[in-house]
């Protein structure tokens, strides 16, 4: 009877979303424009800081949709409130600007930052849907989509380096740019 109660408790927790498995997902480019390119990956500055993320753009602001990058239906949680901006340089939302987070198990998150909002911006569950417009909200320089994969707040690079994504790679919405852990 004790074993049955523990098994039932485990099923209830799993059904409630408490137990999640950690898996690799496929991430595609966020911009449906063939001119979209990766402009920044991993670098280390003289001050010891690092980027450890992909910055992607097509050279425009508020024109092309900033799409969800995960290639299956995922729940995207929206953090907004920043005024639309095409040149950046503000500290809204701690420098992230308007952004989305998709969460997985064991502290994993995939984040997409700096978008300009539009009427469809908001928390949603979807497969590569439009999240907003490419922008430069928060602490950014010029309109782009910043994407990173984190575990317990630490940025990881293997999600894009393992698939060979480098500066100049295509960030078109049907091109695979990485395999984030979720």
Domains and their CATH numbers in the chain: 25-176 (2.70.70.10)
Read off the pLDDT of residues 102-152 as tens digits, 9 standing for 90 and up. Answer: 999 999 999 999 999 998 899 999 999 999 999 999 999 899 999 999 999
Query: What pLDDT, on a 0 to 100 scale, did the predictor assign at position 119?
Result: 85
Exposed / middle / buried, residue 135 (Cβ in 10 Å: 0-12, 13-18, 19+): buried
Exposed / middle / buried, residue 54 (Cβ in 10 Å: 0-12, 13-18, 19+): buried
Residue with the larger pLDDT of the pair 78 and 2: 78
Query: What pLDDT, on a 0 to 100 scale, did the predictor assign at position 35?
Result: 95
Q: Report the C-alpha gap between 65 and 147 in whole angstroms.
A: 15
Q: Report the C-alpha gap between 65 and 27 in whole angstroms.
A: 16
Read off the pLDDT of residues 5-27 as tens digits, 9 standing for 90 and up. Answer: 434 444 433 444 444 679 999 99
Tokens 């910055």 sit on residue: 55
Q: Report the C-alpha gap between 79 and 59 in whole angstroms.
A: 24
Exposed / middle / buried, residue 81 (Cβ in 10 Å: 0-12, 13-18, 19+): exposed
Share of the chain above pLDDT 70, in %: 89
Residue with the larger pLDDT of the pair 81 and 2: 81
pLDDT at 170 over 90: yes
Query: What pLDDT, on a 0 to 100 scale, did the predictor assign at position 2?
Result: 46
- The three-state secondary structure class of 15 is helix
Q: Kindly report the average pLDDT of the chain as a whole number.
A: 88
């Amino acid at each position: 009877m004790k074993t049955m109660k523990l098994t039932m408790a485990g099923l209830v927790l799993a059904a409630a979303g408490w137990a999640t498995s950690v898996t690799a997902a496929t991430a595609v480019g966020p911009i449906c424009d063939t001119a979209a390119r990766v402009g920044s990956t991993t670098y280390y500055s003289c001050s010891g800081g690092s980027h450890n993320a992909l910055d992607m753009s097509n050279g425009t602001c508020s024109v092309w949709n900033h799409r969800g990058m995960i290639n299956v239906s995922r729940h995207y949680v929206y953090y907004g409130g920043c005024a639309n901006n095409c040149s950046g340089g503000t500290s809204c939302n701690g420098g992230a600007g308007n952004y989305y987070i998709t969460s997985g198990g064991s502290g994993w998150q995939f984040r997409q930052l700096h978008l300009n909002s539009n009427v469809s911006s908001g928390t949603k569950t979807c497969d590569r849907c439009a999240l907003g417009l490419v922008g430069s909200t928060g602490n950014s320089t010029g309109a782009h989509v910043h994407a990173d994969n984190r575990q317990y707040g630490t940025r990881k690079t293997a999600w894009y380096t393992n698939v060979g994504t480098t500066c100049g790679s295509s960030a078109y919405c049907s091109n695979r740019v990485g395999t984030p852990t979720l």
